[in-house]
Chains A and B, each alone.
Chain A
């Protein structure tokens, strides 16, 4: 292990310096996407659904969409943005001429992706709180969940990014992985009411399911033992994927 937190933070500072310049352009699409879903599905479709899982539909939808915002924030960063820095901008080649080591690069990028997950998820949370959809203070528990959701999707995305050879594969990542996750992870409907026993167990592999379940519990101020499993899944999967990504980063940056 050769990780130096100060060097990792200098990688984070690089991205932050760039983001300060471009955030107005970057934040809008990521931020508006869940807002549009909330308005269209929540208010539009919600008008035809009296209630779901015991709450008005738009209130059912809101906590899941906060997690989706965090997922999107982290995912864009560790897919397209890391790939561009790696292959086109050669930013990591420059970093490796300094005392920065590959582990610092990985850590800096993951911390940055977590930061963006918090920015997007946090902004979205403010929107739903202003709309009266976030019961206070219990829903504030979603705030410490945002970095965890960010970490999970940073780990998944970076483990994909460092092993692929062409940027075109990201369209698969988004349409065949993130989109199905978005649609089938308790965000729009409770899986437990639509899937039978065996399938319900299979659904536990879906990464987005876990933060969404914890987020909804926070909104309802109700905890259950299954949320310990959710947190365990988030941390465990992140750890395993980052360990795997670490090998890929080393192989990609040094030879």
Chain B
């Protein structure tokens, strides 16, 4: 392991902006990732997540603002910053003709790791990500789950203090996702700081200590998932299908009028006690049992409220 940084802030981005042509990708964005946390960057497609990550590891230069990683200005000394971090890109970048073992060795050489250390680390990571059964098979023949695990293994070859994961589990089956989450937790337990982007709110809620929800290149809100939920929305959610014209009747008599969110026919109503609403609706429906779901409010609701469909009822 390399020497730990003195400062307890791993990433400090101060009002960074980046535009591509006329389109602002990131707009006056600031964020701080403290050491040892798992930090989630959430946002719809095109919100600026990947651009933000690229500015953090120094391949996209901000038009204005500064990014410091390990206290070092990434624009001034990208090599020494990148020698201490690992990045798993959104798209797996693997050499398909070569085996996982050979891929790891090629990648380790990018960090100037030499034999015998090179092979030692490759074997260690093959074990850690459970690639042993396929270590000598050309990558082309591996399933998506194996390829993704290898992509993550590559970014660990230099034993990074800080790991950046761009959508680590997109497109993977539930078992592989669970396995990867557990590896990320293991790394965190060893003191690795992680910054990840994801579209899966359950993933963010399970893995991340802190999340920032970004939309159109700006941070809309930041905090622990449970805090964000508590601050933004009521504790319980009732989900049901109804048309906009039916809506007033269903909510009639509830005061104050609860917050709600509509996506097509689907209506989400946020309130501290779902029972009252459910009883009210059952009474209205007179025995005809409409399908509805009562559940705890989650990060996805906060995400939709902040980035997507308009929220009615006032936050």
Choose the segment among B75-83, B123-131, B267-275 that binds chain A (4+ C-beta atoms closer than 8 Å). B75-83
Q: A13-B109, A17-B98, A98-B82 are in contact. Are A89 and B61 (CB under 8 A)?
A: no
Choose the segment among B84-92, B221-229, B250-258 that binds chain A (4+ C-beta atoms closer than 8 Å). B84-92
- CB of B79 within 8 A of CB of A14, answer no
In this complex, the interface size class of chain B, counting residues with CB under 8 Å from chain A, is: 20 to 34
Q: Name the CB-closest residue of A to B103.
A: A17
Q: Give CA–CA (A228, B93) in the complex, Å.
A: 45
B121-164 CB contacts (< 8 Å) to partner A: 154-155, 158
Q: Give CA–CA (A253, B97) in the complex, Å.
A: 24
Q: Let me know if A22 is at the binding interface, CB within 8 A.
A: yes
Q: A90-B91, A94-B154, A254-B59 are in contact. Are A100 and B97 (CB under 8 A)?
A: no
Q: Let me know if B106 is at the binding interface, CB within 8 A.
A: yes
- CB of B110 within 8 A of CB of A10, answer yes
Q: A18-B95, A93-B93 are in contact. Are A98 and B102 (CB under 8 A)?
A: no
Highest count of chain A CB atoms <10 Å: which of B59, B82, B86: B59
- CB of B82 within 8 A of CB of A97, answer yes
Q: A98-B111, A101-B78, A253-B59 are in contact. Are A18 and B89 (CB under 8 A)?
A: no
A164-200 CB contacts (< 8 Å) to partner B: none
What is the interface of chain A mostly: helix, strand, loop, or mixed? helix
Q: Let me know if B57 is at the binding interface, CB within 8 A.
A: yes
Q: Name the CB-closest residue of B to A13.
A: B109
Q: Let me know if B112 is at the binding interface, CB within 8 A.
A: yes
Q: Give CA–CA (A91, B97) in the complex, Å.
A: 13
**A99 interface neighbour in B61, B82, B98, Cβ under 8 Å:** B82
Q: How far is the CB of B161 from chain A (nearest CB, A)?
A: 14
- CB of A97 within 8 A of CB of B98, answer no
Q: How far is the CB of B110 from chain A (nearest CB, A)?
A: 4
Q: Name the CB-closest residue of A to B99.
A: A21
Residues of A within 8 A of B (CB): 2, 4, 6-7, 10-11, 13-14, 17-18, 21-22, 89-91, 93-101, 253-255
